[in-house]
A and B are shown apart, each in its own frame.
Chain A
Amino acid sequence: MDLFDIVFYCFALIAVGSAVVVVFSRNIMYAAFALLFAFFGIAGLYVLLQADFLAVTQILIYIGGILVLMLFGVMLTNRVVDVDIKTGTLQIVPAAILAAVVGGSLSGVFYSTWSTVSGTPSDVATTTPAIGEMLMTSYILPFEIASIILLVALIGAAMIARRKT
């Protein structure tokens, strides 16, 4: 076990541990802050996978944007901080069966394709210029469509959140 592995397990522990807190915390504020650490752990894993652009994006959008939005959402709702947010568990048998089937098949996928994965990723300097070039040439259409999607999301969000006039 070298330094790389140790760092990997640290980040994995942060991500999974925080995710467990998000799910099982009874206070929605604690859950939201645990989500921050979960996102941070994932960003660390991206770095270890040589995906630097993705890691920065993760921090910028998920921690800088979406988490702030979620905290505002929490604070918007009156008194939700003190209220026990967990409700009773419903449909436990079908849910357990579905979770077992999906979990089992995904484990099967990992198990059956494990041998085909090659060892360590090649050491690339940075992925951002390559992503930039792809975005500007062969992925130009998805890039521009993304702006349309963002525009639709902006209009929809502003319209729904707007007070009735």
Chain B
Amino acid sequence: MIEQLLSDLSFFKPELTLVVTFLTAILTDLVFRRSPVVVAAVCLAGFALTGIFILGQNGEEALIFGNMLTVDAFAVFFKVLITLSAILVLVFSLSSAELNTPGRSLGEYYSLLVALTLGMILMAGATNLLMIYLAIELSSMTSYILTGYTREAPDSSEASLKYVIYGGLSSGIMLYGISILYGLTGTLDLYQLNQVLATGDINDFTLLIAGVFTMVGFGYKISAVPFHFWTPDVYEGAPITITAFLSVASKAAGFAVFIRFLKVAFVDAGAGEVAGGFWTMLQGFDWPLMVAIVSVLTMTLGNLVALWQDNMKRLLAYSSIAHAGYLLMGVVVMGNEGTAAVLIYFIAYLFMNLGAFYVVMLIANKTGSEDVEDYRGLAARAPFLSLSLSLFLISLTGLPPTVGFIGKLYLFAALLNSGWIWLAVVGGINTVISLYYYVKVFRNMYLREDEEKKGRIEVGAAQLATLVVLLVPIILFFFYFPPIVEFAQASIRIFGTP
């Protein structure tokens, strides 16, 4: 046993690096109290090293630490995604005017960012319900603290408090669901859970209740309706860098753990590969229909409420709820094509959503406002920022020539190939609705005049470079998308499943 645990450590290098980085960052903050840049540098180095170790895991497959965690292509994909967004968010934070106010100690901010990343990365690989719960708890707890980081802003503390109450309730319900599952099957291990469920000797009603309760926890993480209530307030109140991170990485980790939970525990492992790559779900729980209903509710509510928003952060919050709905459409397919579509969409979503939040942050740095009305005449004041924001929003809508189009294309193709015509129609209608509120922002930027004639908004060279790094993939992957499609299709392999 001990030798086994020691040899498992070699598969645990990325997480171990993050733990060490976290501890080092805290201690560095204690030594260099006046210069948070040193802490940021430590964290950046840690993230880079983690990224290298994760890329080194490419192609490896293992179950480690007594089946607590797995290393497989699926986990590696999400780890890459999460680490990449962590690095980008760290770079964003360096130039955020909201965070870098005089007198604020940012050491804890950077350290906690590492802990948050660790929690999400553990979520991507967890194969034991206890580990899933702990990983969700680690990432949630860190998110609460980071949401309330700008304490002097009243909406930040309010957002943090709402997040704590809502998160505590959701994780409590999830834990209850897990405990019922444990009582029902006698195991917390997803693979053993699958074997017990496959015997069919399970009370269907109890399984339904346990499944729904467990879903609450996942639904809260990906902000699916009706567990989305925290999202607008938290996204609006949190520092914008944290909002960006939560909207991308937290959602990705939530999807990773949700898809793994479904695929490992509820797919009939004995049935083998079915033609077309569809999963054979175990009887007793109609997962596809339930996920489909949640998906429709999520995207419709997200898009409809977004129509009335006039704060950019709130607008993007509702848009990110709607995107969770689109992504759930890929899960509904319950097949390899659908999963690949989700992964492709996530690559697109990473760049376009982080980019949109980054531009909003750069504008707020100079104008101090996130109000859509204050974007009037922005094209004249900041032509490049306006152009970038337009491209990110076009990509979020899913129109060419952006990578968002590729993401939507694969999602809808997967839906149509699996016969979910009605869901594809609902998704299409929702895309049209979303166009309306994104256009509202374009109209303000390009077609309306600013009465006060404020001066130009200048941004530094480093910020422009970061923006270009985010813009290039948006365009590039539209014209040359095979690499991301191949990467996603190679990453749907989940350890120990057909």
Q: Do chains A and B touch in the complex (CB under 8 A)?
A: yes
B-binding residues in A (CB < 8 A)? 105-106, 108-109, 112-113, 116, 137-142, 145-146, 148-149, 151-153, 155-156, 159-160, 164-165
Contact A156 B5 (CB under 8 A): no
The residues in B between 130 and 148 inclusive whose CB is less than 8 angstroms from any CB of A are: 130-131, 134-135, 137-138, 141-142, 144-145, 148
Contact B203 A113 (CB under 8 A): yes
* 8 Å CB contact of B1 from A116, A137, A146: A137
* 8 Å CB contact of B115 from A112, A142, A148: A148
Interchain Cβ contacts under 8 Å between A and B, 7 examples: A140-B5, A142-B68, A145-B122, A148-B118, A153-B141, A156-B144, A159-B108
CA–CA, A159 and B65, complex, Å: 33
Instruction: List the A side residues contacting B134 at CB < 8 Å.
Output: 142, 145-146, 149
Instruction: List the B side residues contacting A140 at CB < 8 Å.
Output: 5, 65-66
Chain A residue at smallest Cβ distance from B201: A116
Is B308 part of the binding interface, using a Cβ–Cβ cutoff of 8 Å?
no
| Given known contacts A108-B209, A112-B206, A113-B206, A142 and B108 CB-to-CB distance under 8 angstroms | no
Instruction: List the A side residues contacting B141 at CB < 8 Å.
Output: 149, 152-153, 156
CA–CA, A164 and B105, complex, Å: 11
Chain B residue at smallest Cβ distance from A145: B134
Contact B205 A165 (CB under 8 A): no
Tell me the minimal C-beta distance from A164 to chain B in angstroms: 7
Other contacts beyond A109-B180, A142-B68: 4, CB < 8 A: A151-B115, A152-B115, A156-B112, A159-B108
Contact A145 B135 (CB under 8 A): yes
Instruction: List the A side residues contacting B111 at CB < 8 Å.
Output: 155
Chain B residue at smallest Cβ distance from A147: B19
| Given known contacts A108-B209, A159-B108, A159-B145, A149 and B137 CB-to-CB distance under 8 angstroms | yes
Contact B209 A109 (CB under 8 A): yes
CA–CA, A148 and B26, complex, Å: 12
CA–CA, A139 and B65, complex, Å: 8
Is B346 part of the binding interface, using a Cβ–Cβ cutoff of 8 Å?
no
* 8 Å CB contact of B69 from A141, A151, A155, A165: A141
Chain A residue at smallest Cβ distance from B29: A155
CA–CA, A140 and B2, complex, Å: 11
Tell me the minimal C-beta distance from B316 to chain A in angstroms: 26
Is B151 part of the binding interface, using a Cβ–Cβ cutoff of 8 Å?
yes
Contact A155 B5 (CB under 8 A): no
Instruction: List the B side residues contacting A139 at CB < 8 Å.
Output: 66, 68, 130
Instruction: List the B side residues contacting A108 at CB < 8 Å.
Output: 205, 209
Instruction: List the B side residues contacting A155 at CB < 8 Å.
Output: 26, 108, 111-112, 145
Tell me the minimal C-beta distance from B163 to chain A in angstroms: 12
Chain B residue at smallest Cβ distance from A139: B66
* 8 Å CB contact of A160 from B131, B151, B184: B151
Tell me the minimal C-beta distance from A153 to chain B in angstroms: 6
Closest 10 pairs (CB-CB, A-B): A138-B66, A156-B145, A141-B65, A141-B68, A109-B206, A145-B134, A152-B115, A149-B138, A137-B1, A105-B209
Is B452 part of the binding interface, using a Cβ–Cβ cutoff of 8 Å?
no
Is B227 part of the binding interface, using a Cβ–Cβ cutoff of 8 Å?
no
Contact B209 A106 (CB under 8 A): yes
Tell me the minimal C-beta distance from A102 to chain B in angstroms: 9
Tell me the minimal C-beta distance from B394 to chain A in angstroms: 38
Instruction: List the B side residues contacting A106 at CB < 8 Å.
Output: 209
Is B22 part of the binding interface, using a Cβ–Cβ cutoff of 8 Å?
yes
Instruction: List the A side residues contacting B183 at CB < 8 Å.
Output: 113
Is B152 part of the binding interface, using a Cβ–Cβ cutoff of 8 Å?
yes
Contact A142 B142 (CB under 8 A): no
Chain A residue at smallest Cβ distance from B180: A109
CA–CA, A146 and B137, complex, Å: 10
CA–CA, A108 and B204, complex, Å: 11
CA–CA, A164 and B2, complex, Å: 47
CA–CA, A148 and B16, complex, Å: 12
Instruction: List the A side residues contacting B103 at CB < 8 Å.
Output: 165
Chain A residue at smallest Cβ distance from B22: A148
Instruction: List the B side residues contacting A113 at CB < 8 Å.
Output: 183-184, 203, 206
CA–CA, A138 and B137, complex, Å: 20
CA–CA, A146 and B130, complex, Å: 11
Chain B residue at smallest Cβ distance from A105: B209
B60-71: CB near A (< 8 Å → 1, else 0) gives 000001101100
CA–CA, A108 and B137, complex, Å: 29
Chain B residue at smallest Cβ distance from A108: B205
Tell me the minimal C-beta distance from A163 to chain B in angstroms: 11
Q: Which of A142, A146, A152, A159 lies at the interface centre, i.e. has the most chain B CB atoms within 10 A of its CB?
A: A152
Instruction: List the A side residues contacting B1 at CB < 8 Å.
Output: 137-138
Tell me the minimal C-beta distance from B321 to chain A in angstroms: 21
Chain A residue at smallest Cβ distance from B189: A138
Instruction: List the A side residues contacting B138 at CB < 8 Å.
Output: 145, 148-149, 152
CA–CA, A113 and B207, complex, Å: 11
| Given known contacts A137-B1, A149-B141, A160-B145, A142 and B131 CB-to-CB distance under 8 angstroms | yes
CA–CA, A148 and B137, complex, Å: 11
Tell me the minimal C-beta distance from B111 to chain A in angstroms: 7
CA–CA, A160 and B145, complex, Å: 8
Tell me the minimal C-beta distance from B102 to chain A in angstroms: 12
Tell me the minimal C-beta distance from A146 to chain B in angstroms: 7
Chain A residue at smallest Cβ distance from B18: A148
Instruction: List the B side residues contacting A148 at CB < 8 Å.
Output: 19, 22, 115, 118, 138
CA–CA, A138 and B128, complex, Å: 11
The residues in B between 401 and 451 inclusive whose CB is less than 8 angstroms from any CB of A are: none
Contact B112 A152 (CB under 8 A): yes
Chain B residue at smallest Cβ distance from A111: B205
CA–CA, A105 and B2, complex, Å: 44
